[in-house]
């Protein structure tokens, strides 16, 4: 695990500053606004996404077709991911913790900077081992946060502090997932979906083959 020290970081997006990233009202990431400085206590985060090899020690009866045990485990529900982390005495990350670990302290939109670089993270058709792309490493040394598989967080989908956004999906219905993933089609919105601050939501009981997870632990 990697220690992320206590301190402030930039949470969310500023549509005026990041104007090139916004294509339409539907993809304007209104749920990731307003941009703000946010203070987090210190925490540890897994350097890599949880792999099949690790998860099957927790759930040995699981049947997976893959023979590559170093791929990030996917197709697990939020409840399974949460149970695995608790089994290790850890927990799923708060979405703000996830964003800080991926974004660093210099307000970047991707782990490598502010310009989208298609080949730096895995947005292709096949999941890759967790330690494959050395361009997809955050300033803190955390791998695979911009691509490969999206990741469950601990949070129910709620508005940001000081937000005036009204969304019928707010509440205890969906969990927030973070990070880009495979199967992102090559269209004009790919930058939007791959940005670190981008928030997606999923029903916690569902299993998705482009979604995995990693664990954290309070320092």
Q: In the chain, what are the domain boundaries?
A: 2-218
CB atoms within 10 A of CB 158: 16
Residue 25 has pLDDT above 70, yes or no: no
Q: Higher-confidence residue: 90 or 115?
A: 90
C-alpha to C-alpha distances, 175 to 11, 64, 155, 167, nearest whole angstrom: 18, 24, 6, 14
Q: Identify the CATH number of the domain defined by range 2-218.
A: 3.90.1580.10
CB atoms within 10 A of CB 174: 19
* pLDDT number for residue 184: 61
Q: In the structure, what pLDDT confidence band is assigned to residue 210 with cuts at 50, 70 and 90? A: very high
Sign, CA torsion 68/74/76/82: positive
* pLDDT number for residue 28: 56
pLDDT in tens, 129-178: 999 989 999 999 999 999 999 999 999 999 999 999 999 999 999 999 99
Mean pLDDT of 38-59: 96
Q: How many residues are present in the chain?
A: 219
Tokens of 205: 């009981």
Instruction: Find tokens 């307000």 and name the residue.
Output: 107
**C-beta of residue 201 within 8 angstroms of C-beta of residue 157:** yes
* Candidate ranges 24-28, 136-140, 187-191, 196-200; pick with highest mean pLDDT: 136-140
Tokens of 204: 């916690």
Instruction: Find tokens 């004009």 and name the residue.
Output: 188
Residue 126 has pLDDT above 70, yes or no: yes
Q: In the structure, what pLDDT confidence band is assigned to residue 46 with cuts at 50, 70 and 90? A: very high
The reply to whether omega before 34 is within 30° of 0 (cis) is: yes
> How does DSSP assign 130-161, residue by residue?
TTS-TTSB-TTS-BSSSSSSEEEEEEE--PPT
pLDDT, averaged across the chain: 89
Q: CA 30 to CA 26: how far, in whole Å?
A: 9
C-alpha to C-alpha distances, 147 to 74, 178, 209, nearest whole angstrom: 13, 10, 13
Q: Higher-confidence residue: 169 or 23?
A: 169
**C-beta of residue 160 within 8 angstroms of C-beta of residue 10:** no
Closest to 31 (Cα-Cα) out of 210, 147, 201, 203:
201
Q: In the structure, what pLDDT confidence band is assigned to residue 115 with cuts at 50, 70 and 90? A: confident
**Which is it for strands 175-178 and 43-45: parallel, antiparallel or unpaired?**
unpaired
> How does DSSP assign 108-122, residue by residue?
-SBTTBSS--TTTS-
């Amino acid at each position: 695990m990697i220690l992320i020290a206590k301190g402030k970081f930039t949470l969310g997006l500023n549509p005026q500053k990041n104007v090139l990233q916004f294509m339409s009202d539907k993809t304007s990431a209104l749920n990731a606004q307003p941009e703000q400085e946010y203070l987090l206590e210190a925490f540890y985060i897994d350097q890599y996404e949880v792999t099949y090899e690790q998860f099957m020690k927790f759930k040995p009866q699981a049947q997976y077709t893959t023979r590559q045990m170093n791929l990030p485990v996917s197709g697990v529900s939020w409840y399974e991911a949460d149970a695995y982390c608790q089994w290790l005495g850890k927990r799923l990350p708060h979405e703000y913790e996830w964003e800080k670990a991926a974004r660093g302290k210099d307000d970047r939109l991707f782990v490598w900077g502010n310009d989208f670089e298609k080949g730096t993270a895995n947005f292709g058709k096949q999941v890759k081992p967790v330690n494959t792309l050395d361009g997809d490493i955050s300033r803190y040394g955390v791998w695979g946060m911009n691509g490969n598989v999206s990741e469950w967080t601990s949070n129910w989908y709620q508005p940001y502090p000081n937000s005036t956004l009204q969304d019928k999906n707010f509440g205890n219905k969906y969990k927030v997932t973070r990070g880009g993933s495979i199967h992102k089609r090559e269209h004009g919105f790919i930058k939007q979906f791959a940005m670190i601050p981008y928030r997606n939501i999923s029903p916690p009981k569902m299993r998705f083959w482009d979604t995995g997870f990693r664990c954290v632990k309070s320092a």
